[in-house]
């Protein structure tokens, strides 16, 4: 693991060196943003495939509703029929999960790298690198103890919070409009009954993006940069991928 982290630290350092002529003391922060963009670019083909799958899933909603009605008294037969329908249409009900799952290792790598005092047997020099006046290895509570909310470090976090809030507000409005125009058939369990908690989860879905504010406030600044960059990318990417699906009467996917 230490050898792997050393290699990853070298990668971040190499990107920072390339960007140093443009960003000077902020080159490591810029390298993290670039690294995030490269990860999202690599995952983009899967995001496109997930969008196609979710659009296809939406088109199947009338058939799914009919199968649930037809086999309401035979949950086992209903589940088999649903699986056959998805297989015939080459649609996976879980296609939207894969891009998010594949991004998690990159986030945890950054989190671990900027939470470790040592890399191998050497001190972690990356911890002292900064975004403006805020060290990339520290957290919001550290910034609050050095000048408060409106101190030099605190203002960096206020900027990140503002970006996240703007993106979350955009996602909130978009998701509310989509859910109102295109109500999704509730998921059911093997017995054909609605799954417990799915109603509450559906109501909470438009607010999910705002939870990113808590993540930014509690992880090292380097990991927070990854989260903010990835969240912003997601909002732009989904707006592009679903641009041909107008809200009234269109098939849409759930919020990012």
Give the residue extent of every domain in the chain: 2-241
CA distances for 80 relative to 65, 71, 182, angstroms: 14, 10, 26
Give the CB-side neighbour count of residue 180, counting CA atoms within 13 A: 9
CA distances for 15 relative to 21, 65, 75, 222, 252, angstroms: 11, 51, 54, 14, 37
CA distances for 98 relative to 44, 46, 51, 117, 121, angstroms: 11, 7, 11, 32, 36
pLDDT by 10s per residue, the chain, length 256: 577 788 899 999 999 999 999 999 999 999 999 999 999 999 998 888 888 777 777 777 778 778 777 777 777 777 787 777 777 766 666 666 777 787 888 999 999 999 999 887 788 889 889 999 999 999 999 999 998 999 999 999 999 999 999 999 998 887 777 666 655 555 544 444 455 554 455 566 667 778 899 999 999 999 999 999 999 999 999 888 877 654 433 333 333 3
DSSP 121-187: TEE-GGGG-EETTEETT--HHHHHTTT-TTSHHHHHHHHHHHHHHHHHHHHHHHHHHHHHHSPPPPP
């Amino acid at each position: 693991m230490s050898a792997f982290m050393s290699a990853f630290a070298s990668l971040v350092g190499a990107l920072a060196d390339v960007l140093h002529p443009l960003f000077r003391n902020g080159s490591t922060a810029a390298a993290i943003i670039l690294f995030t963009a490269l990860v999202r670019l690599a995952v983009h083909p899967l995001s496109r495939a997930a969008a196609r799958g979710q659009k296809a899933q939406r088109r199947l909603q009338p058939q799914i509703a009919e199968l649930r009605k037809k086999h309401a008294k035979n949950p086992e037969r209903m589940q088999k029929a649903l699986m056959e329908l998805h297989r015939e249409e080459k649609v996976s009900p879980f296609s939207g999960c894969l891009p998010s799952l594949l991004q998690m290792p990159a986030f945890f790598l950054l989190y671990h790298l900027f939470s470790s005092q040592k890399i191998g047997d050497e001190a972690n020099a990356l911890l002292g690198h900064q975004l403006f006046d805020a060290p990339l290895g520290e957290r919001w509570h550290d910034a609050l103890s050095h000048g408060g909310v409106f101190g030099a470090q605190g203002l960096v976090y206020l900027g990140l919070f503002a970006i996240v809030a703007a993106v979350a507000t955009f996602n909130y409005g978009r998701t509310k409009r989509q859910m109102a125009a295109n109500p999704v058939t509730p998921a059911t369990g093997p017995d054909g009954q609605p799954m417990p908690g799915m109603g509450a989860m559906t109501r909470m879905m438009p607010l999910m993006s705002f939870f990113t504010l808590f993540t930014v406030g509690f992880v090292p600044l380097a990991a927070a940069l990854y989260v903010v960059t990835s969240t912003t990318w997601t909002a732009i990417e989904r707006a592009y991928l679903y641009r041909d699906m107008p809200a009234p009467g269109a098939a849409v996917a759930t919020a990012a």
